[in-house]
Amino acid sequence: MMQAQLTPIRRSRTGSLLTRRRVQLLVGMALAGFGPLLWRLLVAPETYFVSTTNAFFANIVAVAIGLWLRLSVENYPGIRSSTSILPTASAAHGLVLAFFFFTRQPYDRLAFVAGYLIHVLWFYLVYFLVQRRNVLQIAMVPFGAWQKLLSLENVSWIPLDAPNLELAARCDAVVADFSAELPPEWERFLADAALAGLIVYQVKPLAETLTGRVEIDHLSENSFGSLVPARGYFHLKTMIDFVTTLLALPAILPLVGLCALAIKLDDGGPVFFRQRRIGHRGDTFTVWKFRTMRIGAGGATQSAREAAMTGTLDPRITRVGAFLRKTRLDELPQALNVLRGEMSWIGPRPEADVLSHWYVGEIPFYRYRHVVKPGISGWAQTNQGHVAELGEITAKLQYDFYYIKYFSPWLDVLIVFKTLRTVFTGFGAR
């Protein structure tokens, strides 16, 4: 019988100091803050003013905010340090820069920019020296639905032959199916592991974290807590959508004009495409997009459902339309839908009403995706791309349910980062 061990276990997998977030933060703050400051003092002391001191504190604060943002978004699947360092560092320094703009406090621009570059370079150095070589090792309790995790990549799965606490202590975490009937010795093992300070995961939430999808069997099984997402953030997000759209209009309107001109020059047809779609709470609304397909290309024999679907290399798509779809510029007119409160910048994509009615009859709980506002970009779009077939829609719904379950500003920030990647790469376009 295994003896209970209640004291924390020291792991045998020891890493360098650079693996510790506290060390990364302190060194980053020192380099970004003191580096430009010392340069001013040693090279050009006559140019040292109060603005240099302000830049010193600004760089320190920006490094702290940047790491905080990274830790917030890296909890979600599909995001690595290599892809989050530049956006979070830029956002952090942008927030500090906004403080200087609104308060009109002086700051040393050269020192501030130098601090930003040092900030980015330091965390990329840490990533290439330490983090990219780290592979998560998770010990598995071999009961219940544990085997479905073995197909998930980027994790070293270690099935346990016996309730061996010493072996588990060499791993980053332990995972078990809590709904399975566990023998008493394995139940004691999990309790001892938790008391010893090890991280113990449940199979289903861990699978959600690694895949970014929530499987739908029974709605009550998905641990939503409340079927309605956080109301406070829902209303705050509506206000943010409205304000950001107003602020973005000076940049959006010239792009709208250029796209409209390109469409007219391409085939001379209408600029805009309008379609009835299903929105928040199942209400229908008219979505606006740039027209990307030839007029009447579907033919008289094509059903309404077939016409609403876009296939791979769809022959109906025009030359200009292909470019607009790849860059997502065809979605720009939906800023009008955002201003009218019918859509958000981030959320599940609204489906055409003819498709939505079909999906409701074929896929359990499909209507639940309408509990939040539809969005121009979303979690499913940035992870899966465009889909239309029923089998693909089921997987898409699992992404949508993940978004609803973890509905938060941090997930929206992550989707913004992933959307930028989508725009530049054309990922998932049809």
Q: Write out pLDDT tens, residues 179-225.
A: 888 898 998 898 888 888 888 888 888 888 788 887 765 554 444 44
Q: pLDDT band at residue 100, thresholds of 50, 70 and 90?
A: very high
Lowest average pLDDT, out of 4-8, 32-36, 108-112, goes to 4-8
Spell out the residues 6+ positions from residue 366 whose beta carbon is closer than 8 angstroms to its own: 356, 359, 360, 397
The answer to whether residues 334 and 252 touch, using CB atoms and an 8 Å cutoff, is no
Give the lowest-confidence range in 147-161, 224-238, 267-281, 339-353. Answer: 224-238
What is the mean pLDDT of the segment spanning 65-88? 75
Query: What is the full DSSP assignment across 403-427?
Result: HHHT-SHHHHHHHHHHHHHHHHHTT
pLDDT higher than threshold 80 for residue 226: no
pLDDT the model gives residue 255: 93
Cα separation of 201 and 82, whole Å? Answer: 26
Edge-first strand listing for the sheet containing 200-202: 155-159, 136-140, 173-176, 200-202
What is the CA angle 410-15-12, rounded to 5?
A: 115
Return all residues near 137 (Cβ < 8 A) that are at least 6 apart: 13, 155, 156, 158, 170, 171, 172
**CA-based Rg of the chain, rounded to a whole angstrom?**
26
Question: Which pLDDT value is given to residue 227?
Answer: 57
State how beta strands 136-140 and 173-176 pair.
parallel
406 has pLDDT over 90? no
Instruction: Report residue 41 as tokens.
Output: 């003092």
Query: What's the pLDDT score for residue 243?
Result: 93
Joined tokens for residue 259: 């796209």
Q: Return the closest-CA partner of residue 389 out of 308, 317, 331.
A: 308
Instruction: List helix spans (H) across 13-152.
Output: 21-43, 50-73, 81-103, 109-129
pLDDT in the model for residue 218 = 53
Per-residue model confidence as pLDDT tens digits over 60-76: 999 999 998 888 776 66
Q: Looking at the predicted structure, is the pLDDT value of residue 174 above 50? A: yes
Residue type, 265: L
Copy the structure tokens of residue 10: 């020291």
Q: Is the pLDDT of residue 7 over 60?
A: no
Mean of all residue pLDDT scores within the chain: 82
pLDDT for 201 equals 87
**End-to-end alpha carbon distance in the chain:** 60
CB-based contacts of 299, cutoff 8 Å, min separation 6: none
pLDDT digits (tens, 9 = 90+) for 323-359: 998 888 999 999 999 999 999 999 999 988 888 888 8
Neighbours of 426 (CB within 10 A): 14
pLDDT of residue 122: 93
Query: How does pLDDT run across 410-419, given as a tens digit for each residue?
Result: 888 888 888 8
**What pLDDT is attached to residue 305?**
56
pLDDT of 80 strictly over 80: no
Three state DSSP letters for 323-365: HHHHHCHHHHHHHHHHHCCCCEEECCCCCEHHHHHHHHHHCCC
Question: Is pLDDT of 9 > 60?
Answer: no
Taking the model in full, what pTM does it have? 0.67
Distance of alpha carbon 125 from alpha carbon 123, whole angstroms: 5
Look at residue 341 in the predicted model and tell me its pLDDT.
Answer: 93
Instruction: Kindly give the pairing relationship between strand 173-176 and strand 344-346.
Output: unpaired
High-pLDDT (> 70) share of the chain, % = 82
Kindly state the percentage of the chain with pLDDT values over 90: 32
Given a cut of 60, whether residue 5 has pLDDT beyond it is no
Rounded CA gap, 108 and 115, in Å?
A: 11
Contact 422, 328 (CB under 8 A): yes
Tell me: pLDDT of 317 over 60. yes
pLDDT in tens, 282-312: 899 999 999 988 876 555 445 555 555 565 5
